[in-house]
Amino acid sequence: MRIDRLYAERRPVFSFEFFPPQSEAAAARLERTIAELRHSHAPDFVSVTYGAGGSTRQRTVELVQRIQADHGITAMAHLTCVGHDAAEIREVAARLVAGGVENFLALRGDPPKGSAGFRPVDGGFAHASELVALLRADFDVSVGGACYPEVHTESETPDADLAHTVHKVASGAQFLITQLFFDNRDYFAFVDRARAAGVAVPIVPGIMPITNLAQIERFTKMCGSRIPAALHDALRAEADNPEAVMAIGIEHAAEQCRELLGAGAPGIHFYTLNQSYATRSILAAVHDG
């Protein structure tokens, strides 16, 4: 199923993001997570991230194809510009398409650790919009892109960041998935600005349940997202109680989802971190509420 067509149905679309496991034990845990989520809240689609290393990239290809073949779930493959020239990107995409994949999330990708900034390889792409254009031109597939309610960390201004989003859509992105955020006002403000700039494609909120305080502080520092002060204070007050931290995080995410869906968001994309409990709990709370 093409993901752009799912969003065209005008109903809430629920999706989960996974990353390729690094060991046999992690692979077994991920299989359990996929099975649990499929049983409890069958997703409309799942996505699989794309790492910077060759072995990780191969696992992405294998996992996306296996999810579709073994679990019968529509899967979206992430692709990045990191370390690939255009011909190599085209070859990876062709392998995925030959394996039945028809959905891609086109990303520039983060510069390798230790790099001063992002530099494309010779013959490669400097921007996600170029990757979007290649996929739309060379393959009959659905292509999405990323967007940043709180501005990409490398953008000088919100207007400059929005200009990149507009160009990405003009290049062929059929839907956008946001970076994680914890204050819905940031999402709503971004959507308003994007619509005013002519962006008409679905803008899907990306939600990451807080299950570990140190971990989420690390993530937000890297991606530039903000934890609202009241939420951060509540989490810090329970820093020595992991179960309480998770409970606070799940309730906050559930409230976010209820408000987002109530205001007409096209769905929710969950950053699961390959775990099912928090996402299952949030979806149960949303559907019960």
Partner residues linked to 228 by β-bridges: none
Query: What sign has the CA pseudo-torsion 150, 155, 161, 165?
Result: negative
91 labelled catalytic:
no
Residue from 9, 17, 31, 255 carrying the catalytic annotation: 17
> Which residues are marked as active site?
17
